Amino acid sequence: MGSGGNNPAWSSLPETFCWTKFGVEAGEPPLSIFQRKELERRRNGGVFLWGIGQSIGPSLPELLRVNSTPEILFSPIKTSAATHDVSPAQVVLWCDAIGYDGHRFRLPEYSLVTSRMDPARPRSGHYALVCEAGSSILELEGKNHYLALEALRNLRSGTSLGASQVTAIVRRVSITAPTRAEYPVVARARLVYPYLVRLTRSIPVPDSYRADRAGLAAFESAMESLLRLRKQDNDGLFSVEDAMLAIP
């Protein structure tokens, strides 16, 4: 991300922020994910959605209390991807959302959130962070910012981060010297209203539309197919709703 426009300055890192670690998700490699998110950002006028597997809702009020313009920092995960992430049995596309404030949230026109799904144990929901950046999130060179795991604490509880925390609301603390491997910060953005949404309805993605099978050269074509799929699904829902309203 560059330092121009209204982006967060790269000269320093915030004291409190949302931190998320990324890797292979729903079979899609990180580079493809970031390319897709950058295309979303450009088409949506700066806004993109970043899917996460767990809610940070309990910690969000505290972050907003201490920082009215919170940031999200992105770092690559260090552990190897699990088999179900690399080769998921099924991928779904999320179509409806409810904001952190409890109001229905209309997904931005060009935003897509997909996730893996186990057909034998389907999930009823997923989560996404609402992000905004004034320039490309692909400009990663020369940023030279790192986070040491032991220098981070959960903002709400003050405890150290657990190994399973992929996304967390954190505060940086002073340490004498890091003893574990540091995580590079490769992108950053702002969190904007409604900050966090719960995704509530999904539809299966046909194999021919799956971004993880399209390859890096065809990710934009796969994205267009997914946008059409969601529009067709939404149009179908609206026609049913309209028909119900028309019943005397």
Return the closest-CA partner of residue 32 out of 142, 133, 112. 112
Model pTM score: 0.85
Q: What span, in angstroms and rounded, lies between the C-alpha atoms of 103 and 96?
A: 12
Averaged confidence pLDDT in the chain:
84
**Confidence (pLDDT) at 24:** 87
Return the closest-CA partner of residue 171 out of 69, 66, 58. 66
pLDDT beneath 50: ranges in the chain = 1-10, 141-142, 238-248
Q: What span, in angstroms and rounded, lies between the C-alpha atoms of 229 and 105?
A: 19
Q: Which two tokens stand for residue 153?
A: 């604490």
Enumerate the β-bridge partners of residue 28.
25
Q: What span, in angstroms and rounded, lies between the C-alpha atoms of 221 and 212?
A: 12
Q: What span, in angstroms and rounded, lies between the C-alpha atoms of 189 and 41?
A: 11
